[in-house]
């Protein structure tokens, strides 16, 4: 599993579609990622919102798992305007380091469209890579500013949404549907209380490779689920748990702590 692909998987369930926040927000959420019950990474996400602009910073340490996930680090950030009913990303960066190699992505957005993007080293366009077209770079967000939901209540309305995501490499759509209510009770996690379950459909559009087993598996999967929890009284809702069923076991991300 490549580091860019791992970053997309880790983030698959994290997307946004917001109304506004009046109070200033400065929060941190910590997560642990496991594959088949084995810890493979820890991740922290910092969120800042002053009511006019937002910033998100993610840092992850990947322990790795044999030939499946390479050990290394990942850092990502997004920033933009936070006005009215939504977050509007204007800049996104991602850097991963693994096996002595560095991979960098820089993307700019304007009005929900991609303004520019740069990938180093460049992705080689093999015969089976679906070409990125200009029309695929409109009406999109990065996956970090799509990390959180904003709303007025912890209910089914959080789930019914669709978001277009451009990672700098791939364009895909994520379609969320309400899957039920639950209650988080484990004292080992960073939150105890009511949560809302959302199912997620992953629909690849372009930039991916048709021969990619991961892409095809995710596109066919009916077992991508996100449990959302409130971030206090901020109006933000963040993943409490993310579950991706894979042929190597469940890929799970669980909230271990939050501060706001």
Q: 134-168 pLDDT, tens per residue? A: 999 999 999 887 767 888 889 999 899 898 999 99
CB count within 10 Å of CB 223 equals 11
Q: Is the pLDDT of residue 15 over 50?
A: no
In the chain, pLDDT over 70 holds for what percent of residues? 88
- Residues for the chain: how many in total? 260
Q: How many domains does the chain have?
A: 1
User: Which long-range contacts does 55-58 make (Cβ < 8 Å, 24+ apart)?
Assistant: 55/79, 56/144, 56/145, 56/147, 58/144, 58/147
**Nearest residue to 251 (alpha-carbon basis) of 13, 4, 3:** 13
pLDDT tens for 173-232 read 999 999 999 999 999 999 999 999 999 999 999 999 999 888 998 899 888 999 999 999
Determine whether 19 is exposed, middle or buried from the number of CB atoms within 10 Å of its CB (0-12, 13-18, 19+). Answer: exposed
In Å, how far from its chain's centre is CA 89?
14
Put simply, whether the predicted model's pTM sits higher than 0.75 gets the answer: yes
- pLDDT attached to residue 222: 85
pLDDT for the residue numbered 128: 93
State which residues form the domain around 88: 3-259
Q: How far is CA 95 from CA 120, 168, 183, 196, 237, in A?
A: 10, 12, 35, 32, 26
């Amino acid at each position: 599993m490549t580091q860019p692909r791992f970053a997309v998987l880790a983030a698959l369930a994290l997307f946004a579609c917001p109304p506004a926040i009046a109070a200033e927000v400065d929060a941190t959420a910590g997560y642990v990622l496991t594959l088949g019950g084995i810890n493979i990474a820890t991740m922290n996400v910092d969120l800042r919102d002053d009511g006019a602009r937002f910033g998100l910073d993610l840092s992850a340490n990947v322990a790795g798992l044999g030939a499946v996930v390479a050990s290394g680090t990942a850092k990502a950030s997004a920033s933009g305007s936070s006005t009215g009913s939504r977050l509007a990303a204007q800049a996104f960066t991602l850097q991963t380091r693994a096996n002595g190699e560095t991979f960098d992505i820089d993307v700019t957005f304007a009005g929900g469209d991609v303004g520019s993007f740069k990938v180093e080293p460049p992705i080689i366009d093999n015969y089976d890579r679906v070409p990125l077209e200009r029309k695929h770079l409109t009406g999109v967000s990065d996956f970090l500013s799509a990390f959180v939901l904003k709303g007025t209540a912890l209910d089914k309305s959080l789930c019914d949404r669709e978001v277009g995501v451009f990672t700098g490499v791939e364009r895909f759509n994520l379609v969320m549907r309400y899957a039920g209510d639950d209650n988080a009770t484990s004292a080992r996690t960073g939150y105890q209380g009511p949560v809302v379950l959302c199912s997620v459909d992953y629909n690849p559009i372009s930039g991916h490779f048709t021969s990619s087993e991961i892409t095809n598996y995710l596109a066919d999967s009916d077992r991508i689920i996100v449990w959302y929890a409130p971030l206090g009284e901020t109006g933000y809702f963040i993943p409490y748990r993310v579950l991706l069923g894979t042929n190597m076991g469940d890929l799970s991300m669980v909230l271990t702590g939050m501060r706001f």
